[in-house]
Amino acid sequence: MSNDQRLDLELAARVHVNKLWNGTLDEQGWNTLAAHINVCAIIAQDNRFQSAVDALESIRQRQIRTGSYGATGDERRVMMDQFNAAVEYLGGRTDKQVAEAVQTVCRMCA
């Protein structure tokens, strides 16, 4: 993966973190954030991103009930913190690790 491709991954997710923060998250954004966090979780192979996974699941369940991708203040803070941790974490991974994790997430979504 080139540096531009890595930046594209980050920027795509960052747009949606901001939408989550300001209350305008939609389905595409939720899926983008979930994919970004899942890439990190796959590489890490531990639970360091579990709080983001839990927040995203809670947001999804709320959307099923209400039709809105709204988030609580705690969920927004968790996602912002975990997103920033994910960006830093991915920066220290090899291109091969990131590319393989992206491919895994793509297969999971297909």
Percent of the chain at pLDDT > 90 equals: 59
When divided into structural domains, the chain yields a total of 1
Confidence check: pLDDT of 97 > 90: no
pTM of the model: 0.87
At 28 the pLDDT is 94
At 1 the pLDDT is 64
Confidence check: pLDDT of 3 > 80: no
* Full domain range(s) for residue 19: 3-109
pLDDT (mean) for 67-88:
92
DSSP state letters, the chain: --HHHHHHHHHHHHHHHHHHHHT---HHHHHHHHHHHHHHHHHH-SSTTHHHHHHHHHHHHHHHHHS-----HHHHHHHHHHHHHHHHHHHTS-HHHHHHHHHHHHHHH-
What is the rounded average pLDDT for all residues in the chain?
89
Token pair listed for 29 = 């954004």
CA-based radius of gyration for the chain: 13
